[in-house]
Amino acid sequence: MSDYRAPVKDALFTIRQVGMLDELSKTERFAHVDDETATSVVEEYGRFMQEVFAPTNATGDRQGLQWTAEGVTVPPDLVRAYGKFVEAGWQGLNAEEAYGGAGFPEVVFVIGAEFMIAANGALSMCPGLTTGAIECLQEWGSEEQKEVYLRKLVTGEWSGTMNLTEPHAGSDVGLATTKALPQDDGTYLVTGTKIYISFGEHDMAENIIHLVLARTPDAPAGTKGISLFIVPKFLVNDDGTLGDRNDVRCVSIEHKMGIHASPTCVLSYGDDGGAVGYLVGEEGQGMRAMFTMMNSARIAVGVQGLGLSDVAYQKAWQYAQDRRQGREIGAESKEPAPIIVHPDVRRMLLYMRSHIEAMRALVVHNAAALDLSRALDGDDAERWREVAELLTPVTKAWCTDVGCEVTSTAIQVYGGMGYVEESGVAQHFRDARIAPIYEGTNGIQAMDLVGRKLPMRMGGVVNDHLAEMRALDARLEAAGADFASIRSNLTAAVDALARATEWIMTNGLADPKQALAGATPYLSMFGNVTGGWLLARLALGAHEELAAGSDDVEFLRSKIVSARFYAEPYLPRAAGLLGAVQAGDRDLYAVDVDGLASL
């Protein structure tokens, strides 16, 4: 058994305060998901993950994967766990009911994803990519494709992948050269090589449905010439049974720093003439279709930072109670004390806890915006779509950057034992380190934020976000002395973010390099301030529940402490980043390439 415990109570509190479930349950799309139903699903999902997935985490990390020319073998414990996942029907939690899904909102789904990632980050990659494939085909697939592929993906009997990267084409997908040659029967023959394909080959599912970007003959250069194709591992017969093996092979897997039980594959298409593929949507729409999958994946990668942080925190919290070193300051006892009594250890634990709560709130708020954009109509839907668009790069990048910091801090709590693999905590740091690279590096997310998201509606979207954060001031003032430092520090941080936003938009119009030079510190600033605002909302919710007579005093008071602890030492960092945002690009190009070399 693993010692991971799904933080069900924290998760439900976050959904209650920032997940807008009441509003969602009033819409036709989510009328079947009330508070009681959502609670039961979150509780059961948490139980399943801590009992079924979590015990396989260390096993998968130690044993890793076996590659042969015939395929990839996953450790048997993980195969069994995935089989139970499929039997329980969890894969289709947020999929459309028309194709066998449960139709739950993203605010519930992302909490389930947090539990799954915390329980086994490597294994979670398979269901996570399948979810992306489902969402892509729901929006872009033909009715025939949905009937043939979507139903089996929703059950989890078949898994899905996303094939973008090639040896010479990473983030610059427009350089991709994989070919798709049209055939008389309406299919295409796909040839080329794709790399870094997570769960591109494995023995857990009956079939693997690859979504592959490729170019048709005479397609224009760049992203406009890219189309999307379904390329199944096994072809599907007219009666739905599996037919011949398609012309796609895993020629190797990568040996990675972390996520050892997740096969990262090099896939070769067309070694024997061409893999049979089926066009999704129209030719030239590949990037539009793939971005449906990628935007979902970017939120999911942000959840990786959250989930791995929480499991690392749980281990650090427990170790800090068990490990005895040094005497407690001011205590009469001369015996070694648990290190959890020492101020610096408390500081690290509160840093971890408060940032985990901020990440969870950001993920849930982003998910709720996405849900409302789908469930409402007209201007209301558009407003929430804008919020989701604005927050997605922040969720992806800020949560994964913080995830690396939190998992590293967990090692620090352990001291020397944290650096020893047998302690188990180092794995979470190793597993987390890939997340800032996945689905567009965090630098690309920062460029997306300043280059595409800030200009939305001529700056109106980001200004609405700043105004909403400022609107919390009256509630914070009314809450009294316990909230005074939260109020003052949040006000100062929002003001600093507003100044940075104005500088980025003004100088970026004149010279995009100026904005891009400050993009990464700007995104850090944005995440820091938005996280503080959401923690303040959680604290106010706790304050109101206490005033209403809740007897869950310790839990609710801890939410106020988390928000105040975050506000006092961490929100002021926003103003400290202002100089980095406004520094511009002068020194970035003040020396030539040779001048950057070591001397």
Where in the sequence numbering do the catalytic residues fall?
A: 439
Q: 402, 369, 350: which is closest to 527 by C-alpha? A: 402
| Rounded alpha-carbon distances, angstroms, from residue 181 to 184, 191, 249 | 10, 8, 19
- 378: which residues sit within 8 A by CB, 6+ positions away? none
Alpha carbons 61 and 429: distance in angstroms, whole number: 12
Contact indicator for 161, 134 with CB cutoff of 8 Å:
no
> How many C-beta atoms lie closer than 10 Å to residue 245's C-beta?
12
The region, left, alpha or beta by phi > 0 then psi within -120 to 50, assigned to residue 25 is alpha
User: Are 112 and 93 in contact, with CB atoms under 8 Å apart?
Assistant: yes
Contact assessment for residue 299 and residue 392, using Cβ atoms and an 8 Å cutoff = yes
- Assigned token pair, 381: 């839907």
What is the rounded distance in angstroms from the CA atom of residue 285 to the CA atom of residue 278?
Answer: 14
Q: What whole-number distance in Å separates Cα of residue 2 and Cα of residue 54?
A: 6
Eight-class DSSP state of 90: G
Distance (Å, whole) CA 522 – CA 528: 10
For 218, phi then psi, to 5°, come to 65, 15
- 395 close to 363: Cβ distance less than 8 angstroms: yes
In this structure, what token pair is assigned to residue 272?
Answer: 């024997």
Distance, CA of 268 to CA of 82 (rounded, Å): 26
Other beta carbons within 10 Å of 242: 14
What does the alpha-carbon distance between residue 394 and residue 527 come to, in Å, rounded to a whole number? 6
- How far CA 386 is from CA of 82, 181, 359, 450, in Å, comes to 36, 38, 20, 14
Beta bridge partners, 245, equal 234
Scan for tokens 């080329």, then name that residue.
192
Place of tokens 């869950």: 552
H-helix or E-strand spanning residue 130: helix 121-140
Non-local (6+) Cβ contacts of 143 within 8 A are: none
CA angle 518, 524, 528 (to 5 degrees): 140
Q: Which residues lie across from 234 on neighbouring strands?
A: 245
Q: Using the 8-state DSSP alphabet, how is residue 93 labeled?
A: T
Alpha-carbon distances of 256 from 122, 170, 214, 264, 336, rounded to whole Å? 12, 17, 27, 8, 40
Other CB atoms within 10 Å distance of the CB of residue 279? 21
CA–CA dist 587, 321 (Å, integer): 47
